[in-house]
């Protein structure tokens, strides 16, 4: 079974990201609604408690509006309340208050009595009382004033006006603060993702530039060698200026030059497909794999020692593929296996077969090299990650893009362990 690394298609990853974003949005909305509901219920409870306390205070403190001996009791009750409260008489004159901008101790009771009877009082005291009266409409907008009566059948002697505790006003802002905080976190997350994507793009562009130089370098160097060879023959011409080059040598030179030109044309075609929708043709995959193996086998360094590339091809149904791009991906896999060999007898095995259960066409590349540790497995397909000193980490990332995005296939690591080699697997739907 293929390991999870690299097995999710790009379309699947996009759907996964979309699902995660939608899930995050649902959680944000749920959090807002839950907090809003909790605050609404708490507000209702606090409001009910405040009204009950206000009614108790109204009945307990009614005599104190005219009985100075009970004012101390009113003060004690008022100090136990956490919400603003104002008691007015029938003329609208404040008789007692608490938790408003004016301290009740700053207004003598005698001044209130004088004001109720229309007698003049000190302008300073009058201004303080006016500030208390100005607070009454705001309290009435919050709660209906409670009429004060000796008994339910007697006339109204005044009103008790009250507001909400400060903590309730603070609680009402909690859902919006939570929503703003979550939105800020989402923005930071999106900003971080955008930064990561920009960094990946930079790595990919740098890697593509290096890959281009690498792909073009081999055939260009070969062509330069053939030019030098022909120039050498021209400089060694005989007395009659005839170039001494046999027909066989000329045919071999032209054949190799044509191969290098064909390679340059193939490289140009490969890069022309990047960033566009390549054309897929229903064809046999085995010749494509053979060509990639042949190209890598011809370029095995002599200093590499004994390297054996084994091939096993079973009969498989044709699949839709782009020959140039798939061959490029396979060359990257084979090159990675080649550089991972660390034993005197290096072995790379390439197998093409049909999976009996899923009917998928599978291409596997197995080597007996150094293998990968868990961290390397996790990051193997990341653009820019490489275990080679001079590598630029684009081979497997490019192979994944070719297989998953262009061919709707899957690529992953079937098995790897330090010292036990690695098996890479590509699967295509039939």
pLDDT at 174: 72
Please tell me the predicted confidence (pLDDT) of residue 142: 83
231-250 burial, b at 16+ Cβ within 10 Å, e below that, comes to eeeeeeeeeeeeeebeeeee
Angle, vertex CA 74, rays to CA 72 and CA 80, nearest 5 = 110
What global pTM score does this model have?
0.48
**Domain spans in the chain, listed from the N-terminal domain onward:** 21-171, 199-237+245-259, 277-428
Q: What is the pLDDT of residue 318?
A: 93
Contact (Cβ atoms closer than 8 angstroms) between residue 361 and residue 352: yes
Task: Determine the angle formed by the axes of helices 323-340 and 247-273, rounding to 10 degrees.
Answer: 100
What pLDDT is recorded for position 33? 77
* Cα–Cα nearest to 143, from 50, 6, 240, 282: 50
User: Judging by DSSP bridges, how do beta strands 94-98 and 85-89 pair with one another?
Assistant: antiparallel
* Answer CATH for 277-428 from 3.40.640.10, 3.10.105.10, 3.40.50.10860, 3.30.565.10: 3.30.565.10
Phi, psi (deg, nearest 5) at residue 46: -65, -40
pLDDT score for 366: 94
Residue 167 token pair: 């903590």
Residues with Cβ within 8 Å of residue 174, at least 6 apart in sequence: 35, 39
Secondary structure string (H, E, C) spanning the chain: CCCCCCCCCHHHHHHHHHHHHHHHHHHHHHHHHHHHHHHHHHHHHHHHHHHHHHHHHHHHHHHHHCCHHHHHHHHHHHHCCCCCEEEEECCCCEEEEECCCCCHHHCCHHHHHHHHCCCCCCHHHHHHHHHHHHHHHHHHHHCCCEEECCCCCCCCCEEEEECCCHHHHHHCCHHHHHHHHHHHHHHHHHHHHHHHHHHHHHHHHHHHHHHHHHHHHHHHHHHHHHHHHHHHHHHCCCCCCCCCCCHHHHHHHHHHHHHHHHHHHHHHHHHHHCCCCCCCEEECCHHHHHHHHHHHHHCCCHHHCEEEEEEEECCCCCEEECHHHHHHHHHHHHHHHHHHCCCCEEEEEEEEEECCCCCCEEEEEEECCCCCCHHHHHHCCCCCCCCCCCCCCCHHHHHHHHHHHHHCCEEEEEEEECCCEEEEEEEECC
Work out the angle between the directed axes of helices 323-340 and 286-298 (0-180°, nearest 10): 40
With a cut of 50, which residues of the chain have pLDDT below it? 1-10, 69-70
According to DSSP, the β-strands at 345-354 and 306-313 are: parallel
């Amino acid at each position: 079974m293929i390991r999870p690394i690299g097995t999710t298609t790009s379309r699947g990853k996009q759907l996964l990201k979309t699902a995660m974003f939608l899930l995050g949005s649902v959680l944000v909305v749920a959090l807002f609604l839950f907090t809003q509901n909790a605050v609404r219920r708490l507000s209702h409870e606090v409001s009910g408690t405040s009204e009950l306390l206000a009614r108790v205070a109204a009945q307990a403190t009614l005599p104190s509006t005219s009985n100075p001996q009970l004012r101390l009791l009113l003060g004690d009750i008022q100090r136990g309340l956490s919400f603003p409260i104002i008691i007015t008489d029938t003329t609208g004159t404040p008789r007692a208050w608490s938790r408003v901008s004016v301290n009740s101790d700053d207004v003598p009771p005698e001044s209130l009595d004088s004001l109720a009877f229309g007698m003049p009082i000190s302008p300073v005291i009058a201004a303080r009382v006016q500030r208390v009266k100005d607070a009454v409409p705001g309290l009435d907008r919050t709660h209906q004033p409670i009429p004060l009566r000796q008994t339910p059948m007697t006339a109204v002697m005044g009103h008790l006006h009250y507001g909400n505790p400060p903590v309730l006003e603070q609680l009402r802002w909690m859902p919006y603060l939570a929503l703003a905080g979550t939105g800020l976190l989402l923005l930071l997350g999106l900003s971080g993702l955008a930064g990561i994507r920009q960094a990946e793009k930079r790595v990919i562009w740098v890697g593509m530039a290096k890959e281009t130089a690498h792909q073009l370098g081999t055939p260009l160097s070969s062509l330069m060698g053939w030019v030098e060879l022909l120039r050498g023959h021209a400089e060694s011409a005989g007395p009659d200026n005839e170039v001494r080059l046999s027909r066989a040598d000329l045919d071999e030179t032209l054949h190799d030059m044509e191969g290098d030109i064909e390679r340059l044309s193939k490289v140009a075609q490969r890069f022309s497909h990047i960033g566009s929708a390549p054309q897929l043709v229903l064809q046999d995959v085995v010749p494509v794999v053979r060509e990639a193996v042949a190209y890598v086998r011809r370029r095995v360094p002599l200093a590499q020692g004994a390297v054996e590339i084994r091939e096993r091809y079973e009969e498989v149904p044709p699949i839709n593929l782009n020959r140039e791009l798939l061959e490029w991906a396979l060359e990257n896999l084979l090159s990675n296996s080649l550089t991972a060999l660390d034993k005197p007898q290096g072995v790379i095995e390439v197998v093409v077969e049909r999976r009996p259960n899923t009917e998928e066409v599978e291409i596997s590349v197995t080597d007996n090299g150094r293998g990968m540790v868990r961290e390397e497995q996790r990051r193997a397909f990341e653009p820019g990650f490489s275990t080679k000193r001079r590598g630029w980490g684009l081979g497997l990332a490019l192979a994944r893009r070719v297989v998953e995005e262009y061919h709707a296939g899957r690529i992953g690591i079937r098995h790897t362990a330090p010292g036990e080699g690695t098996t890479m697997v590509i699967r295509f739907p039939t």
